[in-house]
């Protein structure tokens, strides 16, 4: 790579180009600055890295496999041949199996890293926000593992939709507080977590679940999730002796995607696609595609693309996947979008449902609805690429949590 | 400092600073409540710019913001309320208070338009000095005071950063927490205010959690200004279009207590 590395961000003030930053109330500023100082010390401490890696290996179950999805690849090739392509298309599809992690998704990688930071900072209480409940479960899990009390904020509407995860969190010893403020979904849960934090700054650590929020959260969440891309790169090297041609991952806040993408950003031959949730379609308001359907603004501590009305009021996202249902996106994605390094596309609820069933039938893997959005784009892209090409898709979560949603969408009563 | 703010903080007692959300529950109702604040003896008015995600506010102001947004209030509408207020009350300083995103969305002409509407200053809760470049320069060019917040977590090392670029007055948030929930003890507030005044000549107004005349009097003895917000927003929420008289009586009880404390 000749020019400047694309992996060097953020700058010292937490900006990725025009995005990121630290837009928080003054009460929180000293805390954010302290977190940054502690993170720099942790980065320089070999013992921190060693403990993080040990927990990922023995507690989370890493490395997750990089799996050649042979029947999915074949199925895509057959469809490509039937639809009049010249018969030679259909890229090899590899799946990064982060759904096999303890707790069933990539979220745990970040939670392990942050709980170690919280402990270093001497914090004795953990708070977090959750939408679908996956980050809440992962947070409750590490809090149980480290013996720290935790409070999870969850929109009251989301609690109704995700009863099993609410029960899981409680089993793990977490207090789950329903949020009725605003529209009672993820962004309101995040507001409420910030309100708790501002009133409990001396003893409480806020464990943010995605690569968003005030600096240094987007950076440290990315760093903890980059284990995904780092492993995938080495695993593909071993399997195929080369780099992939295309990476694909789904994006809500964007932590699984930045975790896969970041180690490859300077590899110019690697195309990268992030897939946002188009919900019922980008032509209406019922989607969660911040980049395709939003514009830059400031929310939850960072400047990034947001779903908002003409007066700067935040609008609600919609997706069949509760994990993608957030009106913002991590600031590094906004920057990668503007410089054009990553292509951002979208997949509708229906595209995701189709891809969900396709993976169930071809590979015997029930994916979460979030990565099903990525798989929808993988099917289209693979069909048009050469058989020598290689795609890695991030299978960032498993679908057990989604079976009720899928059943309802398919008109099946359980 | 603007002549209006100078006069408000130049009395031989603490200034009473009162907050109300623009458009809660309608623009007309807000104008009536503003009249009531002035009639009750408010020295400075803070007019809240409603936002969908008021993450530093407690339940009272959250509810007020949502009522205003539901009734269709916008930032443009808020500036129109300011303009109409100013036409009627020439001498009472008017401060806008809110969050960054609606202001960014409005555009860089915000500061000029606010000054043209008769606004004296602005508080942006989620714009710490580290991100001053977003609005600070345009505020200073337009002559709009940038009123900064200091909090119990703002230590001596950080205070100069908060004070740089601050003007009008300084808003000391007396507790680590959200608006309207609990109050700090007067001796603690007194110490914090004294520490700020060693570093700055700006008047220091103290807010968060002040509800009763007694609390207002206690804070008035140790600060240059007493900010009351959530309690007023609660009255507006309870009494809706009938709120002005209740608000006036309440504000008058605060003003008398502050007067007596001087």
Per-residue pLDDT tens over the stretch B9-30: 999 999 999 999 999 999 999 9
> What sign results for the dihedral spanned by CA atoms A328, A262, A337, A90?
negative
pLDDT mean over A63-90 = 91
Q: Please give the pLDDT value at position A185.
A: 83
Which residues of B have a CB under 8 Å from any CB of A? Answer: 51-59, 62, 66, 69, 74-76, 99-106, 125-128, 130-131, 148-155, 158, 162, 173, 175-178, 181
pLDDT of residue B187: 87
Query: For residue A340, which of A273, A263, A294 has the smallest C-alpha distance?
Result: A273
Pick the CATH number of B3-261 from 3.20.20.70, 3.20.20.450, 3.40.50.1000, 3.20.20.140: 3.20.20.70
Angle subtended at Cα A273 by Cα A268 and Cα A279, rounded to the nearest 5 degrees: 170
Of the options 3.40.50.1100, 3.40.640.10, 3.40.50.300, 3.30.750.80, the CATH number for the domain spanning A15-60+107-217: 3.40.50.1100
Shortest CA distance from A304: residue in chain B: B101
- A314 to chain B, minimum CA–CA distance in Å? 6
> Percent of chain A at pLDDT above 90?
89
Which of B69, B149, B175 faces A313 most closely, judged by CB atoms?
B69
The structure tokens 């529209």 sit at A183
Closest CA to A231 of A63, A33, A112, A396: A63
Question: Hunting for tokens 């999870």 — which residue is that?
Answer: A152
Min Cα–Cα distance to chain B from A35, Å: 14
pLDDT at residue A86 is higher than 70: no
Residue B42 clears pLDDT 50, i.e. is over it: yes
Local structure of A205: helix, strand or coil: strand
What's the rounded mean pLDDT across residues B176-199? 90
Residue A62 tokens read as 């890493």
* Residue that the structure tokens 């780092």 belong to: A230
List the single range of A184-193, A366-375, B179-188 with lowest mean pLDDT: B179-188
> Tokens for A314?
């935040």
Of the pLDDT bands very low, low, confident and very high (cuts 50, 70, 90), residue A160 is: confident
Spell out the residues 6+ positions from residue A289 whose beta carbon is closer than 8 angstroms to its own: A276, A277, A278, A279, A282, A346
Average pLDDT taken over every residue of chain B = 96
Residue A4 pLDDT > 90, yes or no?
Answer: no
Token match 């979460």: residue?
A: A368
Q: How buried is A71 (Cβ within 10 angstroms: 0-12 exposed, 13-18 middle, 19+ buried)?
A: middle
Q: Choose the mutation target among A309, A312, A327 for the interface with B, i.e. most B CBs under 10 Å.
A: A312
Residue of B53, B57, B149 with shortest CB distance to A299: B53
Largest CA distance in chain B: 47
| Helical segments of chain B, H only | 3-9, 27-40, 59-70, 75-88, 100-106, 110-116, 136-142, 159-163, 186-199, 213-220, 230-239, 243-261
Residues of A with CB below 8 A from B74's CB?
311
CB contact under 8 A, B128 and A194: no
- For position A391, what pLDDT does the model report? 98
DSSP per position, B125-194: TT--GGGGGGTHHHHHHHT-EE--EE-TT--TTTHHHHHTT--S-EEEE-SSS-TTS----HHHHHHHHH
CB pairs under 8 A between A and B: 118
Contacting A residues, span 217-246, partner chain B, CB-CB under 8 Å: none
Least Cα distance to B123 among B107, B139, B143, B106 occurs for B139
Strand partners, A314: A308
Span B32-57, average pLDDT: 97
- Check residue B121 and give left, alpha or beta (phi > 0: left; psi -120 to 50: alpha): beta
Question: What residues are paired with A93 via a beta bridge?
Answer: A391
Mean pLDDT of B191-210: 95
Cβ neighbours of B57 in A, within 8 Å: 195
Identify the pLDDT of residue A143.
98
Give span(s): CATH 3.40.50.1100, chain A: 15-60+107-217, 66-103+226-410
Partners of A313 on chain B (C-beta within 8 Å) are 51-52, 69, 101-102
B166 neighbors B187 (Cβ within 8 angstroms): no
DSSP state of A163: H
Structure confidence by residue, pLDDT tens digits, A283-336: 988 999 999 999 999 999 999 999 999 999 999 888 898 888 889 999 999 999
Task: State yes or no: pLDDT of A383 exceeds 50.
Answer: yes
CA distance B81 to chain A (A): 16
pLDDT bracket for residue B259 (50, 70, 90):
very high
Q: What is the CATH number of domain A66-103+226-410?
A: 3.40.50.1100
Question: Is A311 exposed, middle or buried (CB count within 10 Å of its CB: 0-12, 13-18, 19+)?
Answer: buried
CA of A245 vs chain B CAs: smallest distance (Å): 39
Q: Would you tell me how many other CB atoms lie within 10 Å of the CB of residue B212?
A: 14
The catalytic residues of B are 46, 57
User: What does each C-alpha distance from B51 to B17, B48, B74 come to in angstroms?
Assistant: 21, 9, 9
Given a cut of 50, is residue A1 above it in pLDDT?
Answer: no
Q: Which of B58, B59, B131 to mutate to test the interface with A (most CBs of A within 10 A)?
A: B131
Structure tokens given for A250: 């789904």
Peptide bond into A10 cis (omega under 30): yes
Q: Which of A129-138, A157-166, B46-55 has the lowest mean pLDDT?
A: A157-166
Residue A52's pLDDT is what?
Answer: 98
Q: Chain B contacts of A26, Cβ < 8 Å?
A: 128, 148-151, 153-154, 162, 173
Q: Which residues contact A309 (CB under 8 A, 6 or more apart)?
A: A315
Report angle CA A364, A210, A167 to the nearest 5 degrees.
65
Any B CB within 8 A of A300 CB:
yes
| A70 Cβ contact partners less than 8 Å away, ≥ 6 residues apart | none
Binary contact (B52, A182; C-beta < 8 A)? yes
DSSP one-letter string for A312-345: SPBPPP--SSGGG--S---HHHHHHHHHTSSEEE
| A31 interfacial to chain B (CB closer than 8 Å) | yes
User: Do the Cβ atoms of B54 and A191 come within 8 Å?
Assistant: yes
Q: The sheet that has A175-179: what strands, in order across it?
A: A175-179, A150-155, A125-130, A204-206
Q: Which residue does chain A place closest to B59, by CA atoms? A: A181
ipTM of the complex, rounded to two decimals? 0.95
CB-CB contact of A123 with A202 (8 Å): no
Res. B123 pLDDT band, cuts 50 70 90: very high
For the cut 60, the answer to whether the pLDDT of residue A106 exceeds it is: yes
Residue A225 confidence (pLDDT) above 60 = yes
Which chain B residues are within 8 Å of A290, Cβ to Cβ? none
Its pTM stands at 0.96
Please name the member of B58, B69, B128 whose beta carbon is closest to the beta carbon of A29: B128
């Amino acid at each position: 790579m000749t020019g400047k590395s694309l992996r060097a961000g953020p700058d010292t003030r937490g900006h990725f180009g025009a995005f990121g930053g630290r837009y928080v109330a003054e009460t929180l500023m000293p805390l954010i600055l302290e977190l940054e100082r502690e993170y720099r010390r942790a980065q320089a401490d070999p013992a921190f890295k060693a403990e993080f890696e040990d927990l990922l290996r023995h507690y989370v179950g890493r490395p997750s496999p990089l799996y050649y999805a042979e029947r999915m690849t074949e199925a895509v090739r057959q469809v490509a041949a039937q639809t009049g392509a010249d018969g030679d298309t259909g890229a090899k599809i590899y799946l990064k199996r982060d759904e096999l992690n303890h707790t069933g998704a990539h979220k745990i990688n970040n939670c392990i890293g942050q709980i170690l930071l919280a402990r270093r900072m001497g914090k004795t209480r953990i708070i977090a926000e959750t939408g679908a409940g996956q980050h809440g479960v992962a947070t409750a899990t590490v809090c149980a593992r480290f013996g720290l009390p935790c409070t999870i904020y969850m929109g009251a509407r989301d609690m109704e939709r995700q009863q099993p995860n609410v029960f899981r969190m409680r089993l793990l010893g977490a207090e789950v507080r329903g949020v009725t403020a605003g529209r009672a979904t993820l962004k309101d849960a995040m507001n409420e977590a910030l309100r708790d934090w501002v009133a409990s700054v001396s003893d409480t650590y806020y464990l943010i679940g995605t690569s968003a929020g005030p600096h240094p959260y987007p950076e440290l969440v990315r760093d903890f999730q980059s284990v995904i891309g780092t492993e995938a790169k080495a695993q593909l090297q071993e399997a195929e002796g080369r780099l992939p041609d295309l990476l694909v991952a789904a994006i809500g806040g964007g932590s699984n995607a930045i975790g896969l993408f970041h180690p490859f950003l300077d590899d110019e031959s690697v195309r990268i696609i992030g897939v946002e949730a188009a919900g019922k379609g980008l032509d209406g308001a019922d989607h969660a595609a911040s980049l395709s359907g939003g514009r830059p603004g400031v929310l939850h501590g960072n400047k990034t693309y947001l779903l908002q009305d003409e007066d700067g009021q935040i609008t609600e996202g919609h997706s069949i996947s509760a994990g993608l249902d957030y009106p913002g996106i991590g600031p590094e994605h906004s920057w990668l979008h503007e410089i054009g390094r990553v292509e951002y596309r979208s997949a509708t609820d229906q595209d995701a449902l189709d891809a969900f069933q396709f993976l169930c039938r071809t590979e015997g893997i029930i994916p979460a609805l979030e990565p099903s959005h990525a798989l929808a784009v993988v099917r289209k892209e693979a069909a048009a690429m050469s058989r020598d090409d290689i795609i890695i898709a991030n299978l960032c979560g498993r679908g057990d949590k989604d079976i009720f949603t899928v059943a309802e969408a398919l008109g099946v009563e359980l | 400092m603007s002549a209006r703010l100078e006069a408000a903080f130049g009395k031989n007692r603490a200034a009473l600073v009162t907050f109300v959300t623009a458009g809660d529950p309608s623009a007309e109702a807000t104008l009536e409540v503003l009249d009531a604040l002035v009639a009750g003896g408010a020295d400075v008015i803070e007019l809240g710019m409603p936002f969908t995600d008021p993450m530093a506010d407690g339940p009272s102001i959250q509810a007020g913001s949502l009522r205003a947004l539901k009734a269709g209030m916008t930032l443009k509408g808020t500036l129109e309320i300011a303009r109409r207020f100013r036409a009627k009350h020439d001498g009472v300083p008017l401060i806008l208070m809110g969050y960054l995103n609606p202001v960014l969305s409005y555009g860089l002409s915000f500061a000029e338009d606010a000054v043209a509407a008769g606004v004296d200053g602005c508080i942006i809760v989620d714009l710490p000095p580290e991100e001053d470049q977003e609005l600070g320069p345009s505020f200073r060019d337009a002559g709009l005071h940038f009123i900064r917040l200091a909090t119990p977590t703002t230590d001596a090392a950080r205070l100069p950063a908060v004070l740089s670029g601050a003007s009008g007055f300084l808003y000391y948030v007396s507790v680590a927490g959200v608006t309207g929930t609990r109050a700090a003890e007067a001796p603690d507030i007194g110490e914090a205010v004294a520490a700020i005044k060693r570093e700055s000549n700006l008047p220091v107004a103290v807010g968060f959690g002040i509800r009763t005349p007694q609390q207002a009097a206690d804070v008035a003895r140790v600060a240059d200004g007493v900010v009351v917000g959530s309690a007023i927003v609660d009255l507006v929420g309870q009494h809706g279009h009938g709120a002005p008289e209740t608000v006036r009586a309440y504000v008058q009880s605060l003003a008398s207590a502050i007067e007596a404390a001087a």
